[in-house]
């Protein structure tokens, strides 16, 4: 006779977890008995906790900055007080090079942005019946370096990605092996620039979000 172990867990009905709403549920297994494990970021998406900041629509892209300029970015996501974000993906598609040696960079710093057109982050959970949970994080999008961020220092600014463009229609993807974690007053930003003329591009930046109390 083979011993069997009954495995149960507590599942919260709302996200973030509310202690009064926990209930026992059976753990899910495949028909062959393998334990089903959901990827963390996929689970965040299922809970409506992944958001997108985007630049450019249909046939109208944004024009980048002329030279990478300190404290100037094209888009950013800010984690304010009580908010934690985990940037998990970025996509940049360059339509026109503009000047020579266009450059892309993704960086973060422990201070929120201070200027630039506000952008309401888009929830990647699309529900035709129930409105998606609004982001607590804020964002900005403004071409030609129109988003103002804290000046870069080797001692305070984190560098996550950089690339030089060689041909038009190049697509760059940033998929970090582990997500940076920004909380309680921090910013991740994207820079796109050319040496003489700003490149024309489309871009998106995705991030997972949680209340900071849930990760402390």
- Looking at residue 168, its pLDDT comes to 66
Range of the domain at 106: 50-214
137, 93, 145: which is closest to 117 by C-alpha? 145
Cα angle 209-192-100, degrees, rounded to a multiple of 5: 160
Task: Please determine, for residue 19, whether its predicted confidence score (pLDDT) is greater than 50.
Answer: no
Q: Say if 108 falls within a structural domain.
A: yes
Q: Contact at 8 Å (CB) between 100 and 196?
A: yes
Q: Say if 111 falls within a structural domain.
A: yes
Q: Say if 6 falls within a structural domain.
A: no
| Count of domains observed in the chain | 1
Mean pLDDT of 75-91: 98
Task: Please determine, for residue 46, whether its predicted confidence score (pLDDT) is greater than 80.
Answer: yes
Q: In the structure encoding, which two tokens stand for residue 164, read together? A: 């030089």
Residues 117 and 152: their CA atoms lie apart, in Å, by 21
173, 174, 204, 208: which is closest to 43 by C-alpha? 208
Position with higher pLDDT, 11 vs 156: 156
Task: Please determine, for residue 116, whether its predicted confidence score (pLDDT) is greater than 90.
Answer: yes
What is the overall mean pLDDT for the chain? 89
Q: Say if 17 falls within a structural domain.
A: no
Task: Please determine, for residue 141, whether its predicted confidence score (pLDDT) is greater than 80.
Answer: yes
Helix (H) or strand (E) holding 45: helix 40-46
Mean pLDDT of 15-31: 65
Q: Say if 19 falls within a structural domain.
A: no
Residues 78 and 75: their CA atoms lie apart, in Å, by 10
Task: Please determine, for residue 84, whether its predicted confidence score (pLDDT) is greater than 70.
Answer: yes
Q: Looking at residue 208, which CATH number applies to its domain?
A: 2.60.120
Residues 82 and 210: their CA atoms lie apart, in Å, by 9
Residues 142 and 156: their CA atoms lie apart, in Å, by 24
- Phi and psi, residue 182, nearest 5°: -115, 135
Q: With pLDDT > 70 as the criterion, what percentage of the chain qualifies?
A: 88
Model pLDDT for residues 144-184, shown as the tens digit of each residue:
999 999 999 999 999 999 998 776 667 899 999 999 999 99
- Looking at residue 18, its pLDDT comes to 45
């Amino acid at each position: 006779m083979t011993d069997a172990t009954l495995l149960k867990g507590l599942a919260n009905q709302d996200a973030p977890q509310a202690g009064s709403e926990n209930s026992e549920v059976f753990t899910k297994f495949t028909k062959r008995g393998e334990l089903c494990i959901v990827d963390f970021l996929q689970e965040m998406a299922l809970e409506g906790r992944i958001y997108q900041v985007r630049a450019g629509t249909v046939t109208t892209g944004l024009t980048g900055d002329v030279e990478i300029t300190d404290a100037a970015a094209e888009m950013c996501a800010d984690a304010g007080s009580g908010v934690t974000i985990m940037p998990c993906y970025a996509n940049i598609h360059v339509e026109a090079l503009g000047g020579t040696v266009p450059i892309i960079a993704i960086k973060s710093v422990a201070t929120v942005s201070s200027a630039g057109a506000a952008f309401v982050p888009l929830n990647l959970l699309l529900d035709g019946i129930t409105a998606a949970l609004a982001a607590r994080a804020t964002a900005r999008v403004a071409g030609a370096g129109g988003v103002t961020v804290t000046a870069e220092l080797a001692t305070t600014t984190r560098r996550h990605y950089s690339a030089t463009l060689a041909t038009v229609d190049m697509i760059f993807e940033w998929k970090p092996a582990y997500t940076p974690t920004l909380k309680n007053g921090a910013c991740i930003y994207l820079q796109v620039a050319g040496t003489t003329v700003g490149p024309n591009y489309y871009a998106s930046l995705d991030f997972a979000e949680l209340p900071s109390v849930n990760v402390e």
